[in-house]
Structure 1
Amino acid sequence: MAIADNSSFSMSTMSDALQHIPFSKGISGYIPPPGFAPRATVANSRLNSLFSVMTSGEGLAQFKDIISKSDRKELHMMVSLLTSDSDYFTKIVRNIYGSRRVQKLLGISDDVDAFFYAALLRRFFHIITDKYASYVAMRAMLVFDQKKKYVMYEHLLHHALDIACNQYGCIALNEIITDADDPFYRNLLLEVVARNALYLSNDPSGNFVVQHVLKLYDLRCTHNVAVSLRGHCVDLAFKKYGSYIVEKLLDTEMSMDVVVVELLECEGDRLMRLARNEFGSFVVVKALRVTNEMNRVDMFRGLVEKLMPFLHLLRRSHGSNIANILESTIN
């Protein structure tokens, strides 16, 4: 299906398109297969006009005002056409301007939301993992009624790991977890992340989700993440993003125990390499600092004793800050 060029788009054409797209009885937004031109001409013309309305870079600020002046029937018919074909709808919401305009249409009325709800569910994963379309799904989960939200949450839970491991999906998932107004589904999402923390922590995108849930300082979730990562903290600490996760675990006393015990149990040579590592050195510094600040003398002294034999090596590496802490205990 050809999409009209919107380079000559203006506010007047947007207003005309929204308020005067003819919706004659018997003509829908159905997109016929290629080669079926006779009946497709009128329908395609309307689809092209609407595509220009939704994706033009002009008149974004005035779009909401124009929508407010449209009556219920006009909005109902326009949204019906907008969501009549999954490919067409997805192409619009994947456009930066299309995404913004659809977001403004969400929540206007239950019958309008019903069209968007069905369209979103048909392509849920593809929409939630797109740079711009994902904001439509996030907005929907804020404004939809409770019944629709619950179904959206079920879809989210079903695809949670794949969404978390997607470049844009991880951002959407983090936003939804933060804004979730239903404690039941929020806890289910946190449980999925915590239960799969090791897998996600080793993923280029998934690690951001683990970092995010740890920043929420939900004690139960933090505990579950720590349990999932027990025995793997040192391995993670050698990696850039993995070290961020281990550092976050050191922020609460319960999860701090998991990390420090593992540091104390690892071989001295391996602990030395971690302390000299570009990323691991930050973990060791923080472990020394928090055990001292929390007055966990046994753990602090244990770390100092394991690291002291390597003091001379730490001075000439990323572990120089660790060396400073060790030297402060000598006097």
Structure 2
Amino acid sequence: MKVVRNKYGSRRVQKLFGISDDVDAFFYAAILRRFFHIITDNYASYVAIRAMVVFDQVKGHALYDHVLHHALDIYIASNQYGCIALNKFITDADDPFYRNLLLEVVGRNAPCLSNDPSENFVVQHVLKLHDLLCRLNVAVRLRGHCVDLSFKKYGSYIVEKLLEAEESMAVVVLEFLECDGDRLMRLARNEFGNFVVFKAIRVTQEMSRVDPFWGLVHKLMPFLHLLRRSRGINIVNILLIKNNILQTSWSRLFKLPS
């Protein structure tokens, strides 16, 4: 541990992997014995990541089993360096079975992961992978939590990512439409939430989701005067444009012949 926790020691140990079966077996046993301490250390974690790539399939699968065990029971993701290592494991997993298991673990635990300063980066990471099943799993698990998350710095990043795909966007927008108008207004004025609400309005328009788009517009229009004096000024601009378009359309529709 003293060697692999050192920047240069970590690099030198990694270079020894793959030289012979005996050497790999020695390090494999050492990694498993101190797995949690290795995976949650800045430099030592790269030893485990490298071992996953170099070791044979049997040893690699055993390491994945340890990742799954600790991800479930101790949450590697709650540690700053463990979070980085877990993201790397998910990205580099060459076995679809273990990759899907890791994605399922993250999706199932999305609510608690999303509220942690370190763990939320794991949720953000899996959403960037554009895995439809994982995205839907995260969205379903976060249903009912999207408004609360949007008030928080890191939580708002996750909700914004959910808004980037039509399948998960519907979950977020529906929750916004179902919450009290006063609460949505406070979210639109919030330093983090205003970006989420603005994005919800923009993506529903871009995806041609007419009913959700106008639902958000009409829900926020009564609070226009409050939004003007807040961080929600970006939302005000789009509301005014759409309101003017709507009024013009109605005036033309009911214009009497001269």
Give the TM-score normalised by the residue count of structure 2. 0.93
Measure how far apart 1:126 and its partner are. Answer: 0.3
Determine helix, strand or coil for the equivalent of 1:305: helix
Measure how far apart 1:124 and its partner are. Answer: 0.2
Determine helix, strand or coil for the equivalent of 2:191: coil
Contiguous gaps of at least 5 residues in structure 1: 1-89
User: For residue 178 of structure 1, what is the aligned residue in structure 2?
Assistant: 91
Large movers: runs of 4+ above 6 Å: none
Identity between Structure 1 and Structure 2 (%): 79
User: For residue 251 of structure 1, what is the aligned residue in structure 2?
Assistant: 164
User: For residue 124 of structure 1, what is the aligned residue in structure 2?
Assistant: 35
Of 129, 150, 156, the match for 2:67: 156
Measure how far apart 1:314 and its partner are. Answer: 1.1
The answer to whether residue 42 in structure 2 is matched with residue 137 in structure 1 is: no
Give the Cα separation in 1 of the matches to 2:148 and 2:19.
Answer: 50
Of 291, 310, 319, the match for 2:223: 310
Give the TM-score normalised by the residue count of structure 1. 0.72
Counterpart AA for 2:172: V
Determine helix, strand or coil for the equivalent of 1:168: helix
The answer to whether residue 178 in structure 2 is matched with residue 265 in structure 1 is: yes
Measure how far apart 1:315 and its partner are. Answer: 1.6
| Count of residues in correspondence between the two structures | 242
The answer to whether residue 137 in structure 2 is matched with residue 224 in structure 1 is: yes
User: For residue 19 of structure 2, what is the aligned residue in structure 1?
Assistant: 108
Measure how far apart 1:110 and its partner are. Answer: 1.8
Q: Deviations over 1:50-108 (max 9, x none)?
A: xxxxxxxxxxxxxxxxxxxxxxxxxxxxxxxxxxxxxxxx1110011111111111122
Q: Which has the higher contact order (CA 8 A, sep 6+)?
A: 2
User: For residue 250 of structure 2, what is the aligned residue in structure 1?
Assistant: none
User: For residue 153 of structure 2, what is the aligned residue in structure 1?
Assistant: 240
Counterpart AA for 1:134: S
Give the Cα separation in 2 of the matches to 1:249 and 1:172.
Answer: 23
Q: Deviations over 1:92-150 (max 9, x none)?
A: 10011111111111122222111110000000000000011000000000111000000
**1:1-150 aligned within 5 A:** 90-150=1-61
Measure how far apart 1:223 and its partner are. Answer: 0.1
Determine helix, strand or coil for the equivalent of 1:91: coil
Give the Cα separation in 2 of the matches to 1:308 and 1:106.
Answer: 63
Give the Cα separation in 2 of the matches to 1:262 and 1:327.
Answer: 23
Counterpart AA for 1:208: F
Q: Deviations over 1:269-288 (max 9, x none)?
A: 10000000000001001000
Of 319, 328, 331, the match for 2:232: 319
User: For residue 299 of structure 1, what is the aligned residue in structure 2?
Assistant: 212
Determine helix, strand or coil for the equivalent of 1:190: helix
Measure how far apart 1:159 and its partner are. Answer: 0.2
Give the Cα separation in 1 of the matches to 2:53 and 2:113.
Answer: 26
